[in-house]
Structure 1
Amino acid sequence: MPTPHWMTSLALALGMLPASQAGAQASRPADLLAAYSQEAGRPANAEQGRRFFTSTHGGEWSCASCHQNTPSTPGRHAATGKTIAPLAPAFNPERFTQASKVEKWFRRNCRDVLSRECSSSEKADVLAWLITLRP
């Protein structure tokens, strides 16, 4: 029997269920932020998230290479040219609503940008910054 949505959201918010183990359950960006912060063992820092997002980390690409410096408008994949919907949740309500999808894309994109997976603190910081962006 699947876990009811409210129980998964509560577990994420309380840090009882890591975001990486939340599965395909629907959630809110704030739930994922709480889980990443809990995993990191510290509160998220939105300014660090902004700097992380716009930095190249020694490679050619940054997150902004595909998602724009302020990801409130559609981006374009740097290699394929494919259009990417806005990343900031206020501009695309579907973003950060399924933990399994969030983990999938963090895993892929962090490997492209960093040549490794992002840490929980990096995910928390980036998500904290994205949540601050408003129309």
Structure 2
Amino acid sequence: MISGPLRSLGPALLLAAAGVGPAAAAGDAAAGAAAWVQKHPQAEGAPARSCASCHNEDLTQPGRHARTGKPIEPLAPSVHPERLTDPAKVEKWLRRNCRWTLGRECSATEKADFLAYIRTQ
């Protein structure tokens, strides 16, 4: 967890850890918000899913994993201050959730957009 004077470096470190270069580092929160609710078809007749399928559209509220039912704490940093403070965790979950939801890894731009959106919550 980043604390003290290093806390202000948080977004830059997260984006670097997520493979986001300087050109995309700012991200587009509006694009992230739109992508958050975009439904992606799944294999073998499973229902289409989006990020909101598990994490909710309101990131200040807890979510629930669509397949396992496991509770997910709110993603909003305003409610859960530890969110987005560990670059390794951010990269791990972006990689895992993009693969599960989109069927592929997210691009650097998509990652920056998602992070920009989540940080606004």
Task: Sort the TM-score into its range (normalised by shorter chain).
Answer: 0.7 to 0.9
Q: Larger relative CO (CA 8 A, sep 6+): 1 or 2? A: 2
Change (3 A) 1:41 1:125: same
Change (3 A) 1:94 1:122: same
What's the counterpart of residue 54 of structure 2? 66
Are 1:31 and 2:12 counterparts?
Answer: yes
If the length of structure 1 is used for normalisation, what is the TM-score?
Answer: 0.71
Change (3 A) 1:117 1:40: farther
CA deviation after TM superposition for structure 1 residue 32, in Å: 4.3
Structure 2 stretches lacking a partner, 5+ long = 43-47
Identity of aligned residues (%): 46
CA deviation after TM superposition for structure 1 residue 37, in Å: 8.8
What's the counterpart of residue 45 of structure 2? none
Q: Which range is displaced more, 30-39 or 94-103?
A: 30-39
What's the counterpart of residue 90 of structure 2? 102
Are 1:113 and 2:101 counterparts?
Answer: yes
Residue 100 of structure 1 aligns to a residue in which SS? helix
Are 1:41 and 2:23 counterparts?
Answer: yes
Change (3 A) 1:107 1:37: closer
What's the counterpart of residue 88 of structure 1? 76
Residue 21 of structure 2 aligns to a residue in which SS? helix
Indicate conservation of the 8 Å contact 2:14/2:85, yes or no.
no
How many residues are paired up? 112
Indicate conservation of the 8 Å contact 1:37/1:120, yes or no.
yes
RMSD over aligned Cα atoms: 2.6
- The residue type paired with residue 50 of structure 2 is S
Segments of 4+ in structure 1 off by > 6 A?
Answer: none
CA deviation after TM superposition for structure 1 residue 99, in Å: 0.7
If the length of structure 2 is used for normalisation, what is the TM-score?
Answer: 0.79
What's the counterpart of residue 35 of structure 2? 52
CA deviation after TM superposition for structure 1 residue 40, in Å: 6.4
Indicate conservation of the 8 Å contact 1:9/1:31, yes or no.
no
Distance 2:49 2:22 in 1: 25
